[in-house]
Amino acid sequence: MDQQSKLLGTEEQPVIPPSSDEKTLAILSHVLTFVAPILAPLIIYLIKKDESAFVAAHAKESLNFQITLVLVVIILLISVIGWFFLWLPGIMALILVIVATVKASDGKLYRYPLTLRLIK
């Protein structure tokens, strides 16, 4: 695996191929974070965690990434010099959410880079 692909996260094939509905919910767990950053993946995870391992994995990963982003933004807001870098998490989130959405639509499991795995 080259350095660029490590920066964009990692992917793997699920043991059981996901259905079309599972892919749609996995996609939504990433895309809806533009509207409701923590709430959307949390709701999807809580509803589907026992029904679909694929959807649960994507929702959990999306939730962990969103929590990490919130923590990073809080740290940047607290530090004086951090105010100049508040645009970085937004751009990073935009790019990585798009990558995660594409991986979910391809039926692959995706792990965001530089993410705290608080929800296991």
Spatial CB neighbours of 74, under 8 Å, sequence gap ≥ 6: none
Measured distance CA(105)–CA(118) in Å, rounded: 25
Residue 10 β-bridge partners: 111
For 41-50, write each residue's pLDDT tens digit. 999 999 999 9
pTM over 0.75: yes
Q: What does the pLDDT read at residue 63? A: 97
Q: How confident is the model at residue 83 (pLDDT cuts 50, 70, 90)?
A: confident
Residue 111 β-bridge partners: 10
Higher pLDDT, 41 or 13: 41
The predicted model gives 3-12 an average pLDDT of 70
